[in-house]
Structure 1
Amino acid sequence: MSSTRQSVQISQETFDGVVKENMEDFGMDLQEALQDAIHTFRLQGADLKGIITDGSRGDNGTNPLVEVIKEVEHASTDIRGITLEHTSKVLEKLYCLCKEGGIDSISVAGRHGGVEASMSAFTALNNSESVVNLILKILSLLVEDAENKDKFKRAGGARMLMDILTRANKGHDNIRLSCGLVSAAATGDEIAMEQFMDLNAAQEFSKLLKESTNDESLVILICNAFKALVTSDDNRVVASKAFTNARTFAERGMVEALLLASTQLQCSSSAVASLCMALKSLAVNEAICKSISEQRGIDFVLQALTECIKIERKPLAKSACSLLSQLGGSDENKESIISQGGLERLINIMSNFSDDPSVLQEAFTVITVLSLRSAQNSLKAVQAGTLDLVAEAMECHTSAASMQRQACFLLRNLAVRSPESRLAILEKGLEPLIRQAKRTHPSCKDAASGALRDLGFDDYNS
């Protein structure tokens, strides 16, 4: 049985020693010595990530990035002997070096203690808002690297951020930077997600959102942080607690907070799309969907659908439809959506954004959900004009596999319980379009076969 070869970990000192040996023993110049060392270590399967390989350590063994990290470490341990102004300059230099150097410099900074030095600086100097601001900017860059992200987690990054969020004054940049860093730290990391939840993130973010409903940019940042804490996206774990986290957020007032924000913001604002996606992430069970509906959540999303047509915002249309699909999973909500003019709004969305298959796909999904197990709703959807728009979309966007697949699902749901709808589908000539989708896109095979079967064709599997 074969095994995956593991990368060999080497230190900066080991790499520098080989370079020095190449120069002293074999008479190579610096660039030759560097290239030979890089080649040799790569043949050995060594991991050179974070190793300084460009010769910038110089004759005295120093590198500007490594040296500034040492200065940050020194400032953290000698807070009486070093002025706040000097510390700020050192942190600013570290930030600029990481930002200008890109991912390579970020990896080097992590390998040489940048995360730990920044965390130590926070512990020693967290009474200065400007210093904390710089530290958060530095850490936001450093966690772009996966190894640095793990170091931040192990060094107590979650507690640091929750401390800032609970004590900082509303509107300060530290709040915004902390929300962004929560998103980065929790994305794709189940353990980090659990750390934040154990530190009462559900209650704190719900409270923060309620206090920030008139601040569009902060609302977006809070929504992004919330979604990172309720999304199962770490493929290293067998079972995620994301579903449980969403329920905890609902219990701590996030439904109220999101819908309160929805009443304060203009429906044309970019924050509305974030609110829609956050509500979708929160609506993980029947009880929460019902709670959203009871607090006028359906009114909010239907109004968003109306507004996105006026301002021609496709991202908002997709987000609003996506939320409506989630809420429509509740049979009680289905009736509310339809009785409040939901089908008419969806028809308008499909008509106005007929050039974009991704928007059409989301609208098709909503009608698919609304017509599930309901012959009455299927017939209402047909009578509203759904079939003409589906036919047009399938004819115009033949290469849009995902949209074609969703169109087949929609037609199947319309046909399966409603003879009237079945007849209308056939009269509109949709059968050839379903068969074309099946022939063209392997991903459409099952959905198209199901639609043909429920339309009454015996050769649905051929």
Structure 2
Amino acid sequence: MTSSRKGLQISQEAFDAVVKENMEDFGMDLQEALQDAIHTFKLQGADLKGIITDGSKDENPTNAPVVEIIKELQNASSGAGAITIGHVQNTLHKFHSLCKEGGINTISIAGRHGGVEASISLVRALDDRSVMNLVLEVLSVLTEDTENMGKFKGNGGLQLLMSVLKDLNKDNNTIRHACTLLSSAAKGDEVSKEQFMDLNAAEVLPKLIKECMNDGNLVIFLCNAFRALVTSDDSRVVASKAFMNARTFAENGMVEALLLASSQLQGSSSAITSICMALKSLAVNENICKSIAEQKGIDFILQVMAESIKICDKSVAKSACSFLSQLAGSDDNKEFIVMSGGLERLISITSYFSDDPSVLQEAFTVVTALSLRSPQNALKAVQVGALDIVAEAMECHPAAGTMQRQACLLLRNFAVRSSEIRSAVLEKGLESLIRQAKRMHASCKDAASAALRDLGFNDYND
């Protein structure tokens, strides 16, 4: 059985001491001394990540430049010597290149030798936008290592990012790099999410989206940062505050900001997709869903669905349907969606993207939500062709388990309150397709059984 225990942490000094002992006491040459030290530490279960193990610390061909560059940055931040901004820029460029080219071990070495701390100190010491952007770019690479991310957070990195985003003199590159770091720092870390919220992220991000709403790329980065703060993805906590964070963002104008940006970015598929995903993350309760509808959010999403067909973009179609399914959880919104032609739009999408089970699944999820506790909506869906679409999808994509399950849930909602629809379902031959889904996919068992039960079959559990 493989041990899950974290490897023994050693210092560069400890490794170097063993190498030196091998050379001085046992007469080994450098390469023999290095290989023996590596072998010895690995036998002890030591973690050698971030340790210079090729002798370059002394001979200078490989990883030593990273250490030397960090020393230069430390000198620059402390004001030692006459170092120009141009020299600092060149040094940061070299640092970034070495880390990118050297991969995770070089990044870890940089972290072990103070690269994160030196970078943050440099920003504080030098009030220069170009240096700021380069440091953020370097930190984005350094924090790919988990230990380095911890150092970034522990040395005021989160406060640095928020001060950058609040700065009136920031430029587009600054926003982009800061949002990238914010997303990485908040991902899977409830404490960091809370710290960002305490630093007024809910006020800053909506404001920035409004300021940048003509730039689709920046809006994407800002939406990613927002979603990182309202996503419950830290398995270490029992109760996440992500839901509360979304409410706080809504109270600070995020609905308005996202919909304003959407009106400016209709030609950018990737930006619209990001906005749809952000709006879905925001719509966490009835009041916010109603607020989105009141600000013409449903009109927006129906327009996006139509556009996805025109430009033949499956990702736009999926994100639009996913967002609409969230809005359809509100009973008031259900009626407005149906009255606005939402069912017809969904049938158009399923017909056009009938070859993609993932699109069909998202569209079926919306129809399922619209028909929940609403026999009139279920009947309307049948009238516009939903049963034909479901039958074709289940027959053409038997291996798509998630889509098959969603189709069963949809049919169950259709059948549960209407004998007229139950007859229509059976006439389309959907019983055999439901039973097939149940046989083929364990994930479909409960949904298929419920559909068969509400269609009137006594052997629904067989």
Give 1:79 deviation, angstroms: 6.3
Query: Structure 1 residues 354, 29: closer, same or farther in 2, change over 3 A?
Result: farther
Q: Match of 1:414?
A: 414
For 2:257, the equivalent position in structure 1 comes to 257
Answer whether contact 2:265 2:272 (CA < 8 A) is retained: yes
Give the alignment's TM-score, normalised by structure 2.
0.96
The whole-number CA distance in structure 2 between the counterparts of 1:313 and 1:78 is: 54
Q: Which runs of 5+ in 2 are unaligned?
A: none
Q: Distance in 1 between matches of 2:359 and 2:36?
A: 53
User: Which residues in structure 2 correspond to 1:55-454 (within 5 Å)?
Assistant: 55-59=55-59, 63-78=64-79, 81-125=82-126, 127-169=127-169, 171-454=171-454
Checking the alignment, whether the CA contact within 8 Å between 1:183 and 1:224 is kept in structure 2 is yes
Distance 2:124 2:111 in 1: 18
1:13-46 Cα offsets, whole Å, 9 max, x none, are 1112223333444444444433332232222221
Report the CA distance shift for 1:78/1:14 in structure 2 as closer, same or farther (over 3 A).
Answer: same
Measured at CA, do residues 360 and 28 of structure 1 come closer, stay the same or move farther in structure 2, by a change above 3 Å?
Answer: farther
The TM-score with structure 1 as length reference comes to 0.96
Residues 1:289 and 1:18: Cα distance change in structure 2 (over 3 Å): same
CA contact (8 A) 2:50 2:110 kept: yes
- Once residues 335 and 279 of structure 2 are traced to their aligned partners in structure 1, the CA distance between those partners, rounded to angstroms, is 19
> Is the partner of 2:57 in helix, strand or coil?
coil
Q: What are the superposed Cα offsets for residues 420-444 of structure 1, whole Å, 9 maximum, x if unpaired?
A: 1111111111111111111111111
Q: What is the alpha-carbon distance in structure 1 between the residues aligned to residue 436 and residue 35 of structure 2?
A: 56
- Aligned AA (1:193): K
Task: Look up the equivalent residue of 1:219 and give its one-letter code.
Answer: V
Specify the code of the residue in structure 2 equivalent to 1:150.
Answer: G
Output the amino acid matched with 2:212. Answer: S
1:101 maps to a residue whose letter is G
Q: Distance in 2 between matches of 1:48 and 1:193?
A: 31
Distance 1:26 1:437, change over 3 A: farther
Q: Is the 8 A contact 2:269 2:316 kept in 1?
A: no
Secondary structure, aligned partner of 1:335: helix
- Which consecutive unaligned segments of at least 5 residues does structure 1 have? none
Measured in 2, the distance between the counterparts of 1:406 and 1:25 equals 71
* Aligned residue-pair number: 460
* Alpha-carbon shift at residue 232 of structure 1 (Å): 0.8
Q: Contact conserved, 1:79 with 1:124, CA < 8 A, in 2?
A: no
Shift, 1:60, TM fit: 7.5
Distance in 2 between the 1:4 and 1:81 partners? Answer: 49
Identity %: 69
* 1:332–1:108 CA distance, 2 compared to 1 (3 A): same
Tell me which moved more, 32-41 or 142-151: 32-41
Residues 401 and 443 of structure 1 are in contact (CA less than 8 Å); yes or no, is this contact kept in structure 2?
yes
- Any idea what the Cα deviations from partners look like across 1:109-145, whole Å, max 9, x if unmatched? 11211110100001101x2111001000001111111
SS in 1 for 2:269: coil
Please say if residues 94 and 138 of structure 1, whose CA atoms lie closer than 8 Å, have aligned partners that are also in contact: yes
Equivalent-residue separation in structure 2 for 1:51 and 1:6 (angstroms): 16
Q: Distance between the aligned counterparts of 2:412 and 2:35, measured in 1? A: 62
Q: CA deviation at 1:403?
A: 1.1
Q: Is the CA contact (8 Å cut-off) linking 1:364 and 1:407 kept in structure 2? A: yes
Change (3 A) 1:60 1:363: closer
Aligned to 2:48: 48
Is the contact between residue 412 and residue 450 of structure 2 (CA under 8 Å) also seen in structure 1?
yes
* Residue identity opposite 1:52 in structure 2: I
- Tell which deviates more after alignment, 96-105 or 198-207: 96-105
Letter in 1 for 2:351: S
Residues 268 and 311 of structure 1 are in contact (CA less than 8 Å); yes or no, is this contact kept in structure 2?
no
Is the Cα–Cα contact under 8 Å of residues 378 and 413 in structure 1 kept in the other structure?
A: yes
Conservation of the 8 A alpha-carbon contact between 2:129 and 2:170:
no
- Decide whether aligned partners of structure 1 residues 427 and 187 sit closer, same or farther in structure 2, where only a CA change above 3 A counts: same
Q: Report the aligned-residue RMSD.
A: 1.8
Paired with 1:37 and 1:350, the residues of 2 have a C-alpha distance of 63
| Range 2-11 or range 245-254, more displaced | 2-11
CA distance in structure 1 between the aligned counterparts of 2:304 and 2:45, rounded to whole angstroms: 54
In 2: Cα distance, 1:35 partner to 1:433 partner: 63
Q: Distance in 2 between matches of 1:258 and 1:343?
A: 25
For residues 434 and 29 of structure 2, the distance between their equivalents in structure 1, rounded to whole angstroms, comes to 68
Please state how far the C-alpha of 1:278 moved relative to its aligned partner: 0.4
SS of the residue aligned with 1:217? helix
- Provide, for residues 278-333 of structure 1, a one-character-per-residue CA deviation record: whole Å limited to 9, x for no partner: 00000000000000000000000000000000001111111000000000000000
Residues 1:207 and 1:456: Cα distance change in structure 2 (over 3 Å) = same
**Which whole-Å CA distance do the structure 2 matches of 1:435 and 1:142 have between them?**
53
CA distance in 2, matches of 1:32, 1:6: 27
Q: 1:71 to 1:388 in 2, by over 3 A?
A: same
- Whether contact under 8 Å (1:414, 1:422) holds in the other structure is yes
Residues of 2 paired with 1:165 and 1:331: CA distance?
Answer: 38
SS of 1:245's equivalent?
helix
Letter in 1 for 2:417: R
**Mean Cα displacement is larger for which, 41-50 or 194-203?**
41-50
Give CA deviations for 1:187-213 in whole Å, capped at 9, x if unaligned. 111111111110111101111111111
